[in-house]
Amino acid sequence: MDKKLRVKNFLDNTPRIDLQIRLIAGEGGLNREIRVGDINRPGLTLAGFYDFFAYDRIQIFGLGETAYMRQLPPGDRQKAYEKFFSYEVLCCVFTHDEQPDEDFCRYADKSNVPVMVTTRDTTRFISLLIHFLDEIFAPSVTMHATLVDVFGVGVLILGQSGVGKSECALELIERSHRLVADDMVEIIKVDESLLMGSGTPLLRHHMEIRGLGIINVREIFGIRSVRNRKRIEMVAMLEEWDSNVEYDRLGLDDKKYTILDIDIPYITIPVRPGRNIPIILETAALNQRLKKLGVHSAQELDRRIQEWIKTENHNK
Amino acid sequence: MIEKEVVVKSDAGVHARPAMMLVREAMKFPCQVALVKDGVEADCKSIMSVLGLAIVSGTRLKVRADGDREEEIVDIIVAMIESGFNLN
């Protein structure tokens, strides 16, 4: 799949972040690739200071820039445009629904620099754009796993193929939880502390269940059984029960699983006939929510026991 | 770990049936088997993973296996892909 970001992608109506922009000139440059997630305000450049001109970034023209261009005497304006477009400018966006003059558009058409207009104000547009770009340029990884929203906690289920990840997800869906992706999860690091998981567009909300084949979860269980993306807050590893392995019996120590340098709370669940994994995962998700609120069941019980031992010793 | 490269030639790419053929072969082996496209790794024992790679004609794939009988399965998978799955 083409992962490159091109100028034309800004004009796609992505339902998540709608930049509300339209193209007015420079159609020939729509296939230009955006390589850096930064922007530039070209005020100084237009005024003639061309040192450090970051022409390969997205140029944002706010009210100041448009007003400056408008008050220039026509001759100077021509010169300014000529100089400006002599660089390989990536693309220009005008905010506040301000249209640039015809000369500007003509130069843009000639040099194939897309010119777009947004109805939003500059600050709001920049913050949305940075958000949009950050997600695209975020580090990412694709994992063989299943992601389910369990009571609002994004649980990433890992395990060898055949251990029962999909069956477990199916039971969770049946219990009114929501499937994000099965078998292949795309994970992006939106922020230093935030991992977002989603399915690949091609497979969205389909699952393979041994014996049934491929099913469409959204069609079978309805729209409430799915969601498109979810923050990953817990990792659960399903493992074949191995009597030689010591499984966690106390839960006193919190284990972590590292994805893209972010530590996520991690549990290992041994799978054995008769063990109801979905219910264990539900409980783990609720326990995780409690821990986030500062309630740590295992540690609290341990503290109570220690206090009781202390008083008993004291009363001897 | 062993890895071999192969280019998909069949016009139809890897749709559901060829994907199932690959998975069925991989399942017969105890080792881990993976297909890698543009750095994205898919478990070759999972139909959805293989389909999710969106493999079309001309796609360059790495076939990777790790564990018992790794060499055998990599050769089988490469041969299957090269033969165009004999579906016609």
CB-based burial of residue A13 (10 Å sphere; 0-12 exposed, 13-18 middle, 19+ buried)? exposed
DSSP A6: B
| A217 shares its domain with A75 | no
- Name A41's Cβ contacts closer than 8 Å, sequence gap at least 6: A59, A60, A62, A65
Bridging pattern class, strands A115-118 and A91-94: parallel
Residue A95: the pLDDT is 94
- Whether the predicted pLDDT of A262 surpasses 70: yes
| A186 shares its domain with A82 | no
A265 half-sphere exposure, CB direction, 13 A CA radius:
19
Q: Is A206 on the interface with B (CB under 8 A)?
A: yes
Residue B87: the pLDDT is 59
Classified as helix, coil or strand, A120 is: coil
B25: which chain A residues are within 8 Å (Cβ-Cβ)? none
Give A36's pLDDT tier (boundaries 50, 70, 90).
confident
Which domain does A285 fall in, by range?
Answer: 140-301
Interface contact B52-A203, CB threshold 8 A: yes
A214: nearest CA partner in chain B: B48
Is A168 a member of any domain? yes
State the CATH number of the domain containing residue A96: 3.40.1390.20
| A150 shares its domain with A252 | yes
- Whether the predicted pLDDT of B88 surpasses 60: no
For residue B46, give the nearest of A144, A202, A206 by CB distance.
A144
Is A74 a member of any domain? yes
| A294 shares its domain with A155 | yes
Residue-wise pLDDT for A96-139, tens only, equals 999 899 999 999 999 999 999 999 999 999 998 888 888 888 89
Is A308 a member of any domain? no
Report chain A's mean pLDDT, rounded to a whole number: 90
| A107 shares its domain with A57 | yes
Q: For A188-219, b where at least 16 C-beta lie within 10 A, e where not — what string?
A: bbbeeeebbbbbbeebbbbbbeeeeeebebee
Which domain does B65 fall in, by range?
Answer: 2-86
Residue-wise pLDDT for B5-46, tens only, equals 999 988 888 998 999 999 999 999 999 999 999 888 999 999
Is A314 a member of any domain? no
Is A173 a member of any domain? yes
| A200 shares its domain with A189 | yes
Residue A169: the pLDDT is 95
| A40 shares its domain with A68 | yes
- Residues 11-70 on B with a CB inside 8 Å of A are 16, 27, 40-43, 45-49, 51-52, 54
Give A308's pLDDT tier (boundaries 50, 70, 90).
very high
| A22 shares its domain with A128 | yes
The tokens of A127 are what?
């913050």
State the CATH number of the domain containing residue A152: 3.40.50.300
- Whether the predicted pLDDT of A271 surpasses 70: yes
Bridging pattern class, strands A115-118 and A21-25: antiparallel
- Whether the predicted pLDDT of A204 surpasses 80: yes
| A145 shares its domain with A291 | yes
Residue-wise pLDDT for A57-75, tens only, equals 999 999 999 999 999 998 9
Q: B37, B48, B64: best mutation site toward chain A, by most A Cβ within 10 Å?
A: B48
Residue A14: the pLDDT is 65
- Whether the predicted pLDDT of A2 surpasses 70: no
Bridging pattern class, strands A39-40 and A58-61: parallel
Residue B61: the pLDDT is 94
- Whether the predicted pLDDT of A260 surpasses 60: yes
Residue-wise pLDDT for A246-256, tens only, equals 888 888 888 99
Q: ipTM for the complex?
A: 0.81
| A119 shares its domain with A146 | no
Interface contact A184-B16, CB threshold 8 A: no
For the entire predicted model, the pTM comes to 0.81
Rounded CA-CA distance B67/A289 in Å is: 39
Alpha-carbon distance B61 to nearest alpha carbon in chain A (angstroms): 14
The tokens of A247 are what?
């499984």
| A58 shares its domain with A162 | no
State the CATH number of the domain containing residue B74: 3.30.1340.10
- Total structural domains within chain B: 1
Cβ atoms of residues A180 and A230 within 8 Å: yes
B15 is catalytic: yes
| A232 shares its domain with A260 | yes
Is A310 a member of any domain? no
Catalytic residue among A4, A79, A124, A144: A144
Bridging pattern class, strands A146-150 and A21-25: unpaired
Residue A1: the pLDDT is 38
Cβ atoms of residues A153 and A160 within 8 Å: no
A203: which chain B residues are within 8 Å (Cβ-Cβ)? 48, 51-52
- Total structural domains within chain A: 2
Q: Which residue has the higher pLDDT, A207 or A161?
A: A207
Rounded CA-CA distance A130/A136 in Å is: 10
Which residue among A112, A137, A162 closes a domain?
A137
Catalytic residue among B2, B12, B13, B15: B15
Nearest Cα to B54, choosing from A209, A142, A212, A187? A142
